């Protein structure tokens, strides 16, 4: 495989990992990382059970609670909690693996019925997952493929989807030019999968020079990295966003007088989908923050109530394209490889997440990997 250029901007590699959070109940922004005394934890467990009114208790341990996608994710999780009749609390790891581990340890003592975690480090979180599992508490690793005896992985088809998006970008520029992919943080299962999807796909286009921009899940960092890349590589043809940062990348292009720069968006936010139709974005990926949040909490509710869920399930996704782009995909023979939808169809799906994953329609057989 050809060498992929990684741009690491000194002074910008502070950790602002993407959050998977919500807010039915939220903790104070600062919480002691140390586990609480046993007697205090037992009192909290009794209090939580009383306050939940006999409902199953679900806890969502996030990386942090910032960003438009993650705020939308909270909203979807809250709707799922109401639809499934469970009690839901969100906890922020504040960008710290140690904090996430401490939160899970406290939740184990409190005796919650299921824990969802978006782990900052896919290996470092394993001991905490094992501790929860040994206590009889099922764990969902949101967006992360992690192998333990106790977790269910809710996976987002990241490598496959980004590979498809890379194919579209490379075909659009005539299979020759320069393309950058903005990813999250090395070591994150989600980011690593998306980067692999890009690198594997772009390797099939020997005349395309690739660049990887690890922006640490921070939109401001991503915008500056693309701005700097446009100075260093003024003939850059396109940017693939492997995070919900398309708006910031378009701003960087406009500020650099590069309105012709091709940009693909990611995550399918309702505010951004119209940009596919008007040409702001070459395409988007149908995920949706609220939809993702609902699906994870719905899965947790199923587990808490004793349902048998496979160890790996996959969020149904689609590439959102305009009718004109769809015609080109047909010409290139790419429509057999990927599922696509129009912006109007995407909006209907994004607004109907409670029907798609609700108690009467949740079916694990629908959540299979793309291939």
Query: Alpha-carbon torsion 59, 62, 66, 68, what sign?
Result: negative
Confidence of residue 74 (pLDDT cuts 50, 70, 90): confident
| Confidence (pLDDT) at 28 | 40
Confidence of residue 273 (pLDDT cuts 50, 70, 90): very high
Reported residue count of the chain is 371
- C-alpha triplet 196, 288, 168: angle, nearest 5°: 45
CA 97 and chain centroid, separation: 17
Split into its structural domains, the chain has a count of: 1
CA 285 and chain centroid, separation: 11
- Reply yes or no on whether the pLDDT at 30 is more than 50: no
Confidence of residue 53 (pLDDT cuts 50, 70, 90): low
| Confidence (pLDDT) at 50 | 53
| Confidence (pLDDT) at 294 | 97
Rounded to an integer, the average pLDDT of 106-133 is 95
Domain of residue 181: give its range. Answer: 5-13+158-286
Flag whether 83 is in a domain: no
Cα–Cα distances in angstroms (integers) from residue 273 to residues 18, 64, 266, 277, 322, in the given order: 20, 25, 10, 8, 10
d(CA 252, CA 20): 26
| Confidence (pLDDT) at 70 | 80
Flag whether 347 is in a domain: no
| Confidence (pLDDT) at 187 | 80
Confidence of residue 312 (pLDDT cuts 50, 70, 90): very high
Higher pLDDT, 19 or 360: 360
pLDDT digits (tens, 9 = 90+) for 125-139: 999 999 999 999 999
Helix (H, G, I), strand (E, B) or coil at 130: helix
Quote the pTM value. Answer: 0.81
Closest CA to 204 of 236, 241, 179, 232: 179
Flag whether 66 is in a domain: no
| Confidence (pLDDT) at 37 | 46
Flag whether 229 is in a domain: yes
Flag whether 197 is in a domain: yes
| Confidence (pLDDT) at 120 | 83
Maximum C-alpha span of the chain: 67
Closest CA to 191 of 143, 151, 148, 224: 143
Flag whether 202 is in a domain: yes
CATH value at residue 236: 3.40.50.2300
Closest CA to 323 of 370, 279, 260: 279
Considering the chain, what is the average pLDDT of its residues?
Answer: 87
**Non-local CB neighbours of 159 within 8 Å, separated by 6+ positions:** 193, 194, 196, 197, 200
Flag whether 351 is in a domain: no
pLDDT digits (tens, 9 = 90+) for 212-248: 999 988 899 999 999 999 999 999 999 999 988 999 9
Flag whether 28 is in a domain: no
pLDDT digits (tens, 9 = 90+) for 145-198: 898 999 999 998 999 999 999 999 999 999 999 999 999 988 888 899 999 999
d(CA 92, CA 117): 10
Rounded to an integer, the average pLDDT of 300-316 is 95
CB atoms within 10 A of CB 369: 11
């Amino acid at each position: 495989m050809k060498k992929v250029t990684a741009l690491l901007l000194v002074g910008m590699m502070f950790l602002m990992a993407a959050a998977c959070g919500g807010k039915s109940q939220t903790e104070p922004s600062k919480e002691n990382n140390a586990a609480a005394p046993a007697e205090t934890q037992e009192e909290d467990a009794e209090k939580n059970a009383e306050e939940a009114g006999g409902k199953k208790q679900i806890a969502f341990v996030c990386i942090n609670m910032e960003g438009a996608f993650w705020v939308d994710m909270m909203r979807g999780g809250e709707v799922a909690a109401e639809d499934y009749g469970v009690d839901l609390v969100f906890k922020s790891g504040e960008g710290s693996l140690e904090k996430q581990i401490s939160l899970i340890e406290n939740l184990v003592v409190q005796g919650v019925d299921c824990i969802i975690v978006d782990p900052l480090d896919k290996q470092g979180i394993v001991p905490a997952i094992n501790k929860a599992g040994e206590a009889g508490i099922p764990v969902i690793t949101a967006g992360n493929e992690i192998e333990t005896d106790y977790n269910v992985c809710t996976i987002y088809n990241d490598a496959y989807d980004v590979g498809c998006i890379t194919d579209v970008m490379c075909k659009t520029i005539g299979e020759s030019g320069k393309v950058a992919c903005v990813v999250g943080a090395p070591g994150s299962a989600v980011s690593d999968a998306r980067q692999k999807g890009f690198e594997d796909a772009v390797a099939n286009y020997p005349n395309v020079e690739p660049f990887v921009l690890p922006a640490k899940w921070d939109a401001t960092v991503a915008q500056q990295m693309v701005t700097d890349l446009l100075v260093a590589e003024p003939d850059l043809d396109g940017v693939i966003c492997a995070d919900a940062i398309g708006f910031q990348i378009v701003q960087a292009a406009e500020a650099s007088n590069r309105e012709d720069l091709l940009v693909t968006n990611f995550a399918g936010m309702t505010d951004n989908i119209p940009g596919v139709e008007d040409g702001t974005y070459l395409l988007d990926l149908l995920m949706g923050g609220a939809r993702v949040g609902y699906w994870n909490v719905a899965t947790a509710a199923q587990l808490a109530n004793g349902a048998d869920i496979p160890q790996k399930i996959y969020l149904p996704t689609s590439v959102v394209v305009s009718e004109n782009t769809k015609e080109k995909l047909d010409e290139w023979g790419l429509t057999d490889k990927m599922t696509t939808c129009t912006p109007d169809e995407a909006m209907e799906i994004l607004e109907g997440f409670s029907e798609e994953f609700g108690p009467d329609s949740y079916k694990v057989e629908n959540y299979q990997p793309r291939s």
